[in-house]
Structure 1
Amino acid sequence: MRNNIENAIVSSEESGSRARSGGLFRLIGLSAGALIIGSMAALCGDSSNLGYVHVDMIDNSFSPPLQRIHKGGTIVFKNIGRNPHNAVAVDDAWSTENDFGSLNMMGGDKASVTYPEEGVFPYYCTFHATPDQRVGMVGTIVVGNVEYTPQTAEKAEPASEWTGVTRKVPSQYPTIQTAVDAADPGDMVLIAPGIYREEVVITTPSLIIRGEDRNKVIVDGEHVRGNAVTVVGADGVAIENMTARNAVLNGFFWTSVNGYRGSHLTAYNNGDYGIYAFDSQNGVIKHSYASGSPDSSFYIGQCYPCKAIIHDIVAEYSALGYSGTNAGGELYLINSIWKNNIVGLAPNTLDSELLPPQREATIWGNIVLNNNNIEAPFVALTWPSFGNGILVAGGLRNHIEKNVIINHPNNGIVMLPNLQENFWLSHGTIVKDNYIAGSGRTDISLSGPISMGNCFSGNSFSTTIPFGLEQLSGCDSAIRYMMGGDMSMMMGAMAMMMDAKMGNFQSGDYKTQPIPGAQPEMPEEMKAKIEPALSPFEDHSYLIAEAGFHPEAQKYLAEAKGGPSYVGSVQTVVPGGFLAIIYHIFAYLLPFVVYASWTFMAFLDMHQRKENNLGWTAGIILVPFLGSLAYHLKGGSTLPGWLRKSMLISGGGVFLLVVLIAVALVL
């Protein structure tokens, strides 16, 4: 198998179809989960909140953006996203800071604002709106019976080509921002070498922002400014050949745009993401480097279809090399290197952002290496993904092919469900012609109670969980068997989430992550082309057609370390700890003991009764847990009542208690 894949690497032959399969499956009516969560809601509910109107702070938007309340009413603003947010009146009459005590509201934080007078109150988030408070993360509160006509911010028309005008910094303009403010659509802002201590916000479409030297043109946030360079609602902006560092939030950031291009960019030691495109379509990020972010080095989120390409990038020393929440549809992550992070790539579904589920991303021809960096910065939500190469959490119809995935202490490729407001299965994904080695638990893993529609063919690996994935769910097979998955991975991730919440594992400091060396300069032939990002996805579609194994795949294969692992789910999830051991025993191993005891005692009782009841026998065998439970409750068991009750309640009770504690701490 390895020789076949290595031959394919050398010849760069592309094989196989990129067909998508499957559909959306949402699990409804999980009785145990509903009981736990419903009980928690009843116990933890706060009656003082009755009658309040809520506005959710989703990452980069308010939901709903327009809210009406009565005179004297109160609105509770709650951050349900992953980024810091706030709400501030345009006229500074009120702010969430007054109630919360800080402008920096993190996920889960709430603040109340009361409106004693009628009127219309526009507001914005200071982190994610333009300086004029009109574009980006903005909203409106309408109080009382007043007339209100929504105002739509006017957007300048994008330009189809360079105007021929170059605005030079600092020879003509003292700062990047003054040059940007003076520019017309289609102009180029050319930046000379220097350290620019500013926060650049771009709202003019079709600008070309370019540094003369990638390594010497540096926008420095000094750990006090939010974003280094932000493009808000401006279509067709290209940013090229420069560096962003030390921002509190993001290095390079496009939001709510159609058309974007990032080329030869370096972003390091920024407090959220390195290079980030949100709620945006029709883009390309190429020949770039990002590192040292507590969330991800590269992020494309909340778009469908995204029509986006990430090509020839390096991501390291971050929590996630790539994160793609609710992003997919003609989204290609190709021929790039993802190494030394907590996890390599993690497309995922979250209900706290728009457009769930994540679906239809292609991960093709990448090097995914050594993603087990315990010194990388992270936030609680990202820590449970530690030690995996490619992790798909609640994603649908993705395509993972021709990747080299080496040296991960947990799993090379793992697909698991994700639970937030809904329970999202990882379903319908094609895993084909990958080389996976040096995995601590298993090379390919399905995690969770059930897996449907995924297929596996032509991969080079040592172990899979469950056994026989390629035989039972081959991509060319007419039938794909519905399988259960590895529950120990889910329980281990739950324990890691608890550890992160309780501070048992300390995040690395994003401010002190390794500083990268000089990165490749933008070639002169590329500098000769000056054009806005009018149709970057279409212009770079040739990269998709040419994608095969990574050009350096042979080099990394030769350096691969670590033999095959046959430990599988017997091993606790790495890194272990007290909680990991407890949850491995009581939430993973205990159910097997409970099942064995219930089933054994049921068959023993039938044997002692000398009854040959085929119905109960079939039910116990074919319906694990529930069959034996039903027999002990309704099957006429002759076992003493105290024995049956203690057997049924003790094992199941301990399991539910352990899960309940985890849910209470994690949610």
Structure 2
Amino acid sequence: MSKRHMKCLAGVTVSAATALGLAAVPSTASAPRDLVVHPGGSIQRAVDAARPGDTVLVEPGTYRESVLITTPGLTLRGTGGRTVISPAAGSAKTTAPKTTKAAKTANACATGGNGICVIGTKGHTVDDVRIRALTVSGFTKSGVWASWTDGLSVRGVTARKNGTWGIAQERSTRGDFRRNTATSNGDAGIFVANSVSEEGGATDTKGTVVLDNAVTGNRIGVTARRVRNLVVDGNLLAGNCSGVFVVGDESKPAAGAMTISGNRILENNKFCPATPRLSAIQGSGIVLTGSEATVVRDNIVRDNVGTTPLSGGILLFKSFVGALNTDNDISGNLVRGNKPADLANRDTAGKGNTFVSNTCGTSVPAGMCAG
């Protein structure tokens, strides 16, 4: 027969299915469990109680806390737009008492200004965490922040009105960011980097994917900063200052070896002022700076209009430290209605860059449009 054991934990219901067999056989300790967080309960307390393979199910409601995940194989699942994680009112405190492990770990995420954190270390990554179907809104830094992870999967998440990044990953591999909505965040809607605190060569992400997301109203839609081996495909990128921005520098290995394909990049005409590292941005579709061996193909890039040095449909531009673009392939894109040009190679010192079979009206230099 089957047994089910239930216990309450500060607003959390833990449900563990037992092994099939005789009534005398006890529950298997390693069997995956569902830990259900009810309105008024603590997500962090449930996460702290979870074991690898468990699922924390968060019922509809607004939960004013930050959540730190350090357990591999954990799933955090909400109910879409009805499950909202927002900053604690007036402080970074959690709903758990200060003396508990829940409070201490959650505060490590909250004091950084983040909503959900998945954090490992250089010698011990946190692997195969899944975040599903919830909204993270109003944090001063990131909605979802990950560092030293492998196989992190974020799907069906809405990250909105966070101060810096909507969904961000550094020092991590094999990330899967799919069917999310990132809107009105202060910097990039989706951000993938080698490190935010150190210079250095590009990280091989080992196949991180950014697929089928809707990214609107941010400073930049998708930023790939000093990384390699990445796919950005099938996304809607609209109403940002720039759609896709690939950032490289003089370090080795160089950024690049990625594919940007099948995206709709439309009217990214919001104006963003200059920063210490970058000129003002407006009307930028796809920008490559200091990139090598990147494939940009089969994208629709329309009506991105601005008057900054980075304005236009698809651009090659030297990085802010002067690193050149090399061996990039821009082909088969539909690029129309972008100003000052649909295609622009403003990195003429770069070598091996090709523009082939792109449907466009204007290019700099002239002659790069197929029709």
TM superposition shift of 1:190: 0.5
Residue aligning to 1:185: 52
Residue aligning to 1:386: 282
Once residues 298 and 137 of structure 2 are traced to their aligned partners in structure 1, the CA distance between those partners, rounded to angstroms, is 33
* 1:242 matched to 2:110: no
Once residues 304 and 312 of structure 1 are traced to their aligned partners in structure 2, the CA distance between those partners, rounded to angstroms, is 22
For 1:309, which of 206, 209, 220 is the aligned residue? 209
Structure 1 residues 206, 239: closer, same or farther in 2, change over 3 A?
same
* 1:443 matched to 2:310: no
Relative to the length of structure 1, the TM-score reads 0.44
Alignment RMSD, CA only? 2.2
Structure 1 residues 238, 320: closer, same or farther in 2, change over 3 A?
same
TM superposition shift of 1:259: 1.1
* 1:283 matched to 2:175: yes
For 1:167, which of 25, 28, 35 is the aligned residue? 35
Structure 1 residues 357, 384: closer, same or farther in 2, change over 3 A?
farther
For 1:214, which of 80, 98, 101 is the aligned residue? 80
- Contact 1:397/1:427, CA 8 A, preserved across alignment: yes
- Contact 1:455/1:470, CA 8 A, preserved across alignment: no
2:207 partner amino acid: K
1:426 partner amino acid: N
Residue aligning to 2:147: 255
| Secondary structure at 2:152 match in 1 | strand
* 1:267 matched to 2:167: no
Once residues 150 and 218 of structure 2 are traced to their aligned partners in structure 1, the CA distance between those partners, rounded to angstroms, is 27
TM superposition shift of 1:292: 1.4
TM superposition shift of 1:464: 1.2
- Contact 1:325/1:350, CA 8 A, preserved across alignment: no
TM superposition shift of 1:164: 2.6
Residue aligning to 2:319: 418
- Contact 1:188/1:208, CA 8 A, preserved across alignment: yes
1:227 partner amino acid: N
Relative to the length of structure 2, the TM-score reads 0.77
Residue aligning to 2:237: 338
| Secondary structure at 1:304 match in 2 | strand
1:220 partner amino acid: S
TM superposition shift of 1:380: 5.1
Once residues 167 and 379 of structure 1 are traced to their aligned partners in structure 2, the CA distance between those partners, rounded to angstroms, is 44
CA shift digits 1:425-450 (9 cap, x unpaired): 01111111100011111111011351
> Equivalent pairs: percent with the same residue?
26
For 2:267, which of 367, 370, 378 is the aligned residue? 370
1:317 partner amino acid: G
* 1:428 matched to 2:327: yes
Please list every run of at least 4 consecutive aligned residues from structure 1 whose deviation after the TM superposition is greater than 3 angstroms: 222-225, 376-383
1:444 partner amino acid: L
| Secondary structure at 2:46 match in 1 | helix
- Contact 1:220/1:247, CA 8 A, preserved across alignment: yes
Structure 1 residues 207, 378: closer, same or farther in 2, change over 3 A?
farther
Once residues 185 and 223 of structure 2 are traced to their aligned partners in structure 1, the CA distance between those partners, rounded to angstroms, is 12
Once residues 453 and 430 of structure 1 are traced to their aligned partners in structure 2, the CA distance between those partners, rounded to angstroms, is 9
TM superposition shift of 1:199: 0.9
Structure 1 residues 174, 191: closer, same or farther in 2, change over 3 A?
same
TM superposition shift of 1:470: 6.3
Residue aligning to 1:629: none
- Contact 1:395/1:425, CA 8 A, preserved across alignment: yes
1:300 partner amino acid: V
2:114 partner amino acid: N
TM superposition shift of 1:383: 5.2
Aligned residues, how many? Answer: 303
Once residues 73 and 222 of structure 2 are traced to their aligned partners in structure 1, the CA distance between those partners, rounded to angstroms, is 27
Residue aligning to 2:254: 357
TM superposition shift of 1:275: 0.7
Structure 1 residues 244, 305: closer, same or farther in 2, change over 3 A?
closer
Equivalence map 1:324-335=2 (5 Å): 324-329=224-229, 331-335=230-234
* 1:293 matched to 2:180: no
- Contact 2:174/2:208, CA 8 A, preserved across alignment: yes
Once residues 176 and 252 of structure 2 are traced to their aligned partners in structure 1, the CA distance between those partners, rounded to angstroms, is 21
CA shift digits 1:337-383 (9 cap, x unpaired): 000000000011146xx865211110110000001113x69855455
For 1:408, which of 297, 300, 304 is the aligned residue? 304
Structure 1 residues 356, 250: closer, same or farther in 2, change over 3 A?
farther
Q: Which has the higher helix share?
A: 1
Structure 1 residues 274, 300: closer, same or farther in 2, change over 3 A?
same
Which blocks of at least 5 consecutive residues in structure 2 are unaligned? 1-29, 92-109, 121-125, 195-202, 306-310
TM superposition shift of 1:408: 1.3
Residue aligning to 2:247: 348
- Contact 1:293/1:377, CA 8 A, preserved across alignment: no
TM superposition shift of 1:419: 3.3
CA shift digits 1:512-544 (9 cap, x unpaired): xxxxxxxxxxxxxxxxxxxxxxxxxxxxxxxxx
2:267 partner amino acid: N
2:289 partner amino acid: A
Once residues 454 and 287 of structure 1 are traced to their aligned partners in structure 2, the CA distance between those partners, rounded to angstroms, is 31
Once residues 230 and 269 of structure 1 are traced to their aligned partners in structure 2, the CA distance between those partners, rounded to angstroms, is 17
TM superposition shift of 1:265: 0.4
CA shift digits 1:532-572 (9 cap, x unpaired): xxxxxxxxxxxxxxxxxxxxxxxxxxxxxxxx9xxxxxxxx
TM superposition shift of 1:384: 2.5
1:362 partner amino acid: T
- Contact 2:332/2:359, CA 8 A, preserved across alignment: yes
Residue aligning to 1:203: 70
2:116 partner amino acid: V
* 1:468 matched to 2:367: yes
| Secondary structure at 1:425 match in 2 | coil
* 1:232 matched to 2:119: yes
Which blocks of at least 5 consecutive residues in structure 1 are unaligned? 1-161, 472-563, 565-667
CA shift digits 1:65-116 (9 cap, x unpaired): xxxxxxxxxxxxxxxxxxxxxxxxxxxxxxxxxxxxxxxxxxxxxxxxxxxx
Q: Which has the higher strand share?
A: 2
| Secondary structure at 2:162 match in 1 | coil
Rg comparison, structure with higher value: 1
